[in-house]
Each structure stands twice: as C-alpha cells, then as structure tokens.
Chain A
Amino acid sequence: MQPVTEATGEFAEYAAARWLTLVRSAVLLGCTPSEAEDVAQETLTRCLVGWTKVTAARHRDAYVSAILLNCFRDSRRSGWRRRERPVATVPDASEPDRTDLADTAAAVEAALGTLSPGQREVLTMRFYLQLGEAQVAEALGVAVGTVKSRTARALAALAADTNLADLHDGGPT
C-alpha cells in the first residue's frame, strides 16, 4: 500500500493547480458553487486514493475529468448530500461585487439549463476542460460520434437561446 505521504508532494501540487478548474467544471455540470466545492473535494479524494492510476493515465486531466463526472453523477443521487462532512472552520464567503459577471453567468446558466445532461457534460469537457473529442468519448464511455453529435446539438441549442442573444450582440460581459 502506498502511504498517503508519498503522494502528497506531487498530489498537492496537482490539487492546488486544478482546484479552481474542478470547482468551476462542477458548476458548469450543474452544481451550485457550494456543491461544486464538495464535488471537487471528492474528486481529489478519489484521485489520491488511486494516485498511481492517475499518474499513469495517458492524459491525466482527462482521467481526472472522468472522476469528476462520476462524482458529479453520484452527487445527483439521493443521499449524497447527507454525507457532507462538517469542517472545523467555515470558509470566508465574502466576495467582491461581481454583479455584472453574475448577470452574464445567469444568462449562460439559463441557457445551459435547457441542455440535456449529456450535452452539458460534453460542452464542459470539450470547451472548458479543453479535452479532445476522443478523450471526452473515453471519459464518458461513449463513441466519438456521440460526442460530436451531442456537441453539435448543444451548440445549436445555445445559438437558438434568446438569453444569449444580448451576449452575442455585445451585451453584458
């Protein structure tokens, strides 16, 4: 058994580098920000449990994105939230005023809300995590053609969404 401490150095660097990306990816998949931190935390926990597999993966970020996706899907199942663990200190939730960003985000979120879960997953992995179609297909366990079709339908749905019209026309950014 590999002691935790042996993986801590490399793992710590990776976790610190990917933490915000994982949180934001979970938001794109459909989590609230607070849920997203839990999903990201669980993702990194599973990564550390199988750190040798993570480091041996051909494309580490794709492998971790698959773990993230599994964690997100688990979070959608009943009972997952009851397993949240209390922490000793509550993180400071104060943030600068980002009203304009929030307005834009709300519009995008509303548009993403019209997509199917599969389309949303593909969009997140292709365009936020910037994985290739083959990597997305491997992570999702579907054919590359499925990734392409879901991507095309998702983009078409976003193109037709009126919530995003202002953004395309130079609205709030």
Chain B
Amino acid sequence: MNPPLDEHARDLLERLVAPVTAGPVRLAEIEAEVARRRARRRARLAIGASVAAVVVVGAATVPAIRDSHPGPGRATDSTPSAPASPTAISTPTGVRDPAGVIGRLQGSWTLRLTNIAPDGLGFHNELMDARVEVGFRDDVLSTSDGVHAIEARVLADVLAADETADLNVYDVRTASATAAPGETDPPPPILETLSSIAHVSFQGDEVMLSAANYGIIAVLSRD
C-alpha cells in the first residue's frame, strides 16, 4: 500500500464529496434570516441600552408655572415619576457619554414634529407640524421656542452598533400645556413629544426621535 502523499489527499477528499450535490443557494432565506437577526439584535439593545434624558425646568420657572396654571387635568401631571419639588427634578448627574450620543447632538437643531402622535400612532394634527429650535450644550437640552423654557439633562450609556439607542425622557410634566408668555396660539406639543421619546437614531444629517413602537415622532435637523 502506498502512503497517500499530500497531492493524493485532495483527491481522496474530492472522491468523498463527489456524490454530494446541493440545490441552489437560498439567498432569499438568508436575507430574511439576517433581517430577523438584526431586528432581534435591535430589540435586545433597546432593552439593554439606556440613554436617559431627564427634563428639568429651571428652578425659577417652575413655581411660576405651577402658580399660574394649577388646574387639574394636565396630561403631564400624571407622570408617575414626577418629582415633588423642582430641586428634586434638577439633580445633577454629570455627563456619561461613552458612545458619543451626546457629542453628536451638540449644537443647535430644528426639531420638526411629524404628524405622528406622541404615542407613535399615526394621526394628523396640525399642531404637529410645528418646528422649534432646540439646542444641546454638554448634557443639557434646551428650548424656549414657543413654549416655556425647557432644559433636559441627558445621560447616554450605550449607542447601538446600528446607531439606534434608547432615549427615555421623563419628568416633563411642568410646562407642557402652557404657551410661552405673550403667545396667543396653543403651544406645540413639545413636551408631550419629548416625554414619549423612547429611541433615537442617527440617519445621515438628521436625528430621528421615535416612540416606543419606533414611530418617528420628531426629527432633528441642522436647518
């Protein structure tokens, strides 16, 4: 018996697999499976990731708003986690931004509300067509365009590889139903929108803010 040389090894292996045939590669199944895996991955990251934005209202502003608009029934009054006092709202937490979420949000933006309701369900509301200027400086989101001044302190923990991260906004009860001083028109539902934001994603030059069901309820652009 001759020992199989290296060049014979391939021949042996070829003989073994010669009868093996295979149907055509199932590309559609592969792509569908990849899409499923990416969706599952996004879902896992949405659960595990945490980018929290705590909306705080300036301490000098909050009492005035409360005094002048004490009426019940304001939608934001039902926020379970609403703090009992302004000082409790504005607890400094520092900047945690290992994934660069806050860094990418720095500067001035035009926040454009889509006609998707704050809960992510689609229905048209003319108020939703509003645009307001918002800005990020360090970990503070602020806006005073058409509404009482709002400031949001942002914590960024994780940005997913597919550039979608959680954004959880809470404690936005204070000024949502009030117009800015001197304004006669109803205020745009900025705070309601902010309070419903669950995810943020970066798409080109724009930042999509979406509700828990991924319905895009606002878009940030550099306009």
Contacts and interface: CB of A to CB of B under 8 A. Distances in A.
Interface of A: 1, 4, 8, 12, 15-16, 19-20, 23-24, 27-28, 33, 36-37, 40-41, 44-45, 48-49, 85, 87, 91-92, 95, 98, 101-102, 104-105, 108-109, 111-112, 123-124, 126-128, 130, 155-156, 158-159, 162, 164-165, 167-169, 173
A60 B59 CA distance: 60
Contacts of A16: 24-25
Interface in B28-81: 29-31, 33-35, 37-38
A19 to B, nearest CB: 4
Interface string B1-42: 111111011101111111111111111011101110110000
A167 B164 CA distance: 59
A15 B28 CA distance: 12
A155 B34 contact: no
A23 B20 contact: yes
B162 interface: yes
A1 B163 contact: yes
A170 B134 CA distance: 82
Contacts of B23: 37, 91-92
A49 B4 contact: no
A87 B29 contact: yes
B3 to A, nearest CB: 3
B13 A28 contact: yes
Given A123-B13, A159-B4, A173-B15, 6 more contacts: A8-B27, A20-B22, A24-B22, A44-B25, A87-B29, A109-B16
